[in-house]
Amino acid sequence: MIFEVISSSIIGGIYLAAKLKSGEGPTNDHEKIKMIADVVGLKKDGKSIRIHRKYRPKNKHFTEYIYQIPLGLSLDDFKSHIDKFEDGLNNKQTSYFLSLKDLKKIDWEKLSQIKSFKDLPEQFKRIFGEKQLIRKNIEMSYDGMLRIKVYDRSLPNYLAFDDSVWNQCKKWCVPIGETKDGVHFIRLDDGHAVIAGTTRYGKTTFLHLLITTFINLHPGEVEFSLIDLKSGLSFQRYADCKQVINMAEDLPSAHNCFKKIIQEMKRRKELFKQLGIEKIQDIKQPLSRHYIIIDEASNLDFRRMELESKKDIEKAKLLYEQCKAWMKMIACESASLGIYLIFSTQYPTAEILDSQVKANTITKICYRLDTGTQSYVVLDHTGAEEITIKGRAIVRTPDGTAQVQSYLLDDKQIEKVIRPHIVIKAREDDEENAPISEDIRETGKDTLIIEPV
């Protein structure tokens, strides 16, 4: 009997939350908006804002209110009071945002054994423990009329990845996380990307999601060169995946990896010439997309290494300069060939993120950074230094800029995807001691002339 009552209460609570979420609850946001505008003095000659239209787009998480505003008022007048509008809309809001997925967290067998109502709180912690109170957020814009979007909830502080999200992916898109509008995808088959963020804020977690997504959705169409410069720890689980062509964990092995990629670029250029095509999207025969993923690019810099002898320093410097030159070449020439650079670093200074590499990246993902200067290097504006929530990122693409809460993909989900693709590979000997032929001349700033590979 108690079990039946509890089940009914849960379903009823979810139904009520859905009603509140859809705007069918007892509050009237339009009346609140109008009242707040009047109270803070957003009136002219006794005239208040006047509602023109209200609508809720299908499958979106907001309602938009469109107002005519009195002559003499501007968008900035309203934006200067945005905190008052949000506080007013959230006055006495105490409902929880729930989803049907929350039912999976309930231990139904244990719940059926409850003999006293005093035991209920521990069970409901499974549902409400990580849920946030609904807090509506608003965005304002102006196109001749004032547009106020009232979102049902703010961004969550934590998002576990649900495998079903992969069903929504279009080709070569990665579901990085969610905005207030829902799942946010980034397309990674038409240009390079740079990812920046201080340690433990989500940068490497997203790289795991990227690799796992493409292995899951395009197992026969993708190749990876993984340059893991954090002692190889981040990407070691993928080392034996058949999609992983090259692996590197230090400067010498990274140099060897880049050398092979340059050779592949030359091979593809010749193929494209023979086929009379310009870019990979025009090719009719199967050709894999190749992703070069660098985790902690700053560790390529020989000045960050603990080298003692002058000979070791000179050798490391030579390797570093050649790697930099090859990265520039890849950034400038490889995207049309289906070879894409994913450049990731904790230290996005102008020295680490070369200007040519940055100029040729069309996707920029920025987690928390230490300074506004670092944020500016990546995004061309500050803001990443103000991020305080792990997994929160500013994503900038040709489609615009969005604030996203990234998904957290756990180890079991990764293992489930990559296990069928593990193969036994023959290990190549390190080419650390192989002779290198370079000719560095004063033909221009940072110019490195390299003999053909």
236 in a domain, yes or no? yes
What is the predicted pLDDT for the residue at 434?
45
Q: Both 70 and 215 in a single domain? A: no
Domain that holds residue 392: 163-429
422 φ/ψ angles, rounded to the nearest 5 degrees: -80, 130
Q: In which element (H, E) is residue 192 found?
A: strand 192-196
Q: Both 225 and 305 in a single domain? A: yes
442 in a domain, yes or no? no
Q: In which element (H, E) is residue 178 found?
A: strand 173-179
Residue 79's Cβ-count burial label (10 Å; 0-12, 13-18, 19+) is: middle
What is the predicted pLDDT for the residue at 450?
46
Q: Both 207 and 302 in a single domain? A: yes
CA distance 99 to 93: 18
Q: Which residues contact 128 (CB under 8 A, 6 or more apart)?
A: 96
What is the predicted pLDDT for the residue at 452?
47
Q: Both 72 and 133 in a single domain? A: yes
Q: Which two tokens stand for residue 142?
A: 């102006």
Helix residue ranges per DSSP H, 107-191: 108-111, 120-128
140 φ/ψ angles, rounded to the nearest 5 degrees: -120, 140
Query: Which parts of the chain have pLDDT scores under 70?
Result: 1-27, 92-134, 425-453
Q: Both 125 and 253 in a single domain? A: no
92 in a domain, yes or no? yes
What are the DSSP calls for 49-97, one per residue? PEEEEEE--TT-SEEEEEEE--TT--HHHHHTTHHHHHHHHTTT---B-
Determine how β-strand 289-295 pairs with β-strand 339-345.
parallel
Q: Both 177 and 145 in a single domain? A: no
What is the predicted pLDDT for the residue at 254?
96
Q: Both 146 and 221 in a single domain? A: no
**Which residue's structure tokens are 């240009």?**
191
**Which residue's structure tokens are 């050798």?**
315
Q: Which two tokens stand for residue 295?
A: 């985790």
CA distance 359 to 192: 10
What is the predicted pLDDT for the residue at 427?
60
Q: How many beta carbons lie within 10 A of that of residue 211, not counting itself? A: 27
* pTM, full prediction: 0.74
238 in a domain, yes or no? yes
Amino acid at 8: S
Determine how β-strand 62-68 pairs with β-strand 146-151.
antiparallel
Using alpha carbons, select from 183, 229, 201, 213 the residue that is nearest to residue 343.
229
Would you say 433 and 308 are in contact if contact means Cβ atoms under 8 Å apart?
no
305 in a domain, yes or no? yes
Residue 282's Cβ-count burial label (10 Å; 0-12, 13-18, 19+) is: exposed
For 231, half-sphere exposure in the C-beta direction (CA atoms, 13 angstrom radius) is 1
Q: Both 8 and 128 in a single domain? A: yes
Using alpha carbons, select from 57, 50, 17, 12 the residue that is nearest to residue 31.
50
CA distance 416 to 407: 17
CA distance 341 to 440: 25
Domain end (from 111, 126, 151):
151
Q: Both 259 and 142 in a single domain? A: no
Domain end (from 131, 151, 171):
151
Using alpha carbons, select from 386, 391, 378 the residue that is nearest to residue 346.
378
What is the predicted pLDDT for the residue at 172?
95
Q: Both 171 and 60 in a single domain? A: no
Amino acid at 251: L
Amino acid at 59: N
Q: Which two tokens stand for residue 263?
A: 């050779």
Domain end (from 127, 151, 175):
151
Helix residue ranges per DSSP H, 218-250: none
Residues shown for the chain? 453
Would you say 234 and 299 are in contact if contact means Cβ atoms under 8 Å apart?
no
CA distance 84 to 37: 9
365 φ/ψ angles, rounded to the nearest 5 degrees: -120, 125
Q: Is the dihedral of CA 246, 248, 253, 259 positive or negative?
A: positive
Domains in the chain, number = 2
336: CATH: 3.40.50.300
446 in a domain, yes or no? no
CA distance 151 to 62: 4
CA distance 222 to 128: 40
Q: Both 176 and 129 in a single domain? A: no
436 in a domain, yes or no? no
The single-letter DSSP state of residue 249 is -
**Which residue's structure tokens are 């033909």?**
443
158 in a domain, yes or no? no
Q: Both 146 and 167 in a single domain? A: no
